[in-house]
């Protein structure tokens, strides 16, 4: 063994196998795709509280996944070790919005495809997914469910209100009824004939109605 053999580095030999230009192009493309995913996320967000850090993490996840796939595809032994190392990683952050899961998988999938060198697939697929989300998520529904909460004095007021609601809505369903010594609290889910709140004003004209509240409802939160 010579003096040069002692200081010979296999790490430098492996580094020479990588093309700096290919790595730079892959990382730039993954950044562009991640930025596009972040843009679609901002345009389609319909939750309660917008998280800018989640959008940035989508971009970072696309680039990190690309980096991992570039390393895995270069060496079979390294790929087996990488699978074992990543299998011990656990994430405890709860995903609040169901649609956020789609964006996470989109970012990971885009990173995998770019790292594998399938650039046309990553671009075309991301464009189609972005267009689909922009069209369907931002689509305004004309059949928005609403919740009407009424505070009533007696049963007669309840019957009159239910008859008025049935005649002025597409569909109505009693969700809850609370009876106390102070009166009756009635909760009704309705589909309005139009997007106005005139029904609420008509309900207040009924004798025995103390107050009425109209709340939009999408099954997850009220607004």
- Are 97 and 195 in the same domain? no
Write down which residue in 106, 137, 168 finishes a domain: 137
- Are 155 and 115 in the same domain? no
- From 99-113, 173-187, 195-209, the region with the lowest mean pLDDT: 195-209
Q: Residue 154: what pLDDT?
A: 86
Per-residue pLDDT, averaged over 38-65, amounts to 82
Per-residue pLDDT, averaged over 147-176, amounts to 86
Alpha-helical segments (H) within the chain: 3-6, 10-17, 20-44, 52-74, 76-86, 98-115, 119-137, 155-168, 198-204
Q: Identify the residue whose tokens are 């939009």.
A: 216
Write down which residue in 72, 102, 137 finishes a domain: 137
Residue 167 near residue 179, CB atoms below 8 Å: no
- Are 132 and 184 in the same domain? no
- Are 78 and 159 in the same domain? no
Per-residue pLDDT, averaged over 63-84, amounts to 71
pTM: 0.61
Tell me what the pLDDT averaged over the chain comes to. Answer: 78
Q: Which of 8-17, 63-72, 209-218 has maximum average pLDDT? A: 63-72
CATH number at residue 161: 3.30.70.1150
Per the structure, the complete domain to which residue 77 belongs is given by 9-137
Helices 98-115, 119-137: axis angle to 10 degrees equals 160
Q: Is residue 163 domain-resident?
A: yes
- Are 65 and 81 in the same domain? yes
- Are 124 and 207 in the same domain? no
Q: Which residues have C-beta within 8 Å of that of residue 117, sequence separation ≥ 6?
A: 26, 73
Per-residue pLDDT, averaged over 3-15, amounts to 50
Q: Residue 7: what pLDDT?
A: 45
Q: Residue 125: what pLDDT?
A: 92
Measure the CA dihedral 47/64/62/66, to 10°: -160
Per-residue pLDDT, averaged over 147-167, amounts to 87
């Amino acid at each position: 063994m010579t003096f040069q053999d002692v200081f010979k580095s296999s790490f430098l030999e492996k580094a020479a196998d990588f093309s700096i230009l290919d790595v730079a192009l892959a990382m730039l493309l993954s950044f562009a795709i991640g930025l596009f995913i972040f843009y679609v996320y901002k345009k389609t967000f319909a939750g309660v509280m917008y998280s800018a850090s989640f959008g940035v993490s989508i971009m970072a996840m696309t680039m990190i996944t690309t980096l991992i796939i570039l390393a895995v595809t270069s060496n079979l032994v390294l790929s087996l070790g990488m699978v074992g190392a990543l299998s011990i990683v656990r994430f405890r952050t709860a995903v609040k919005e169901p649609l956020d899961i789609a964006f996470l998988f989109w970012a990971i999938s885009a990173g995998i495809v770019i790292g594998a060198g399938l650039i046309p697939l990553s671009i075309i697929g991301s464009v189609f997914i972005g267009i689909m989300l922009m069209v369907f998520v931002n689509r305004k529904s004309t059949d928005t469910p609403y919740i009407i909460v009424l505070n009533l004095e007696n049963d007669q007021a309840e019957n009159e209100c239910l008859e008025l609601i049935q005649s002025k809505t597409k569909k109505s369903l009693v969700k809850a009824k609370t009876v106390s010594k102070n009166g009756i609290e009635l909760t009704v889910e309705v589909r309005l004939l139009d997007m106005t709140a005139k029904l609420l004003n008509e309900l207040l004209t009924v004798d025995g109605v103390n107050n009425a509240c109209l709340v939009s409802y999408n099954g997850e939160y009220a607004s």
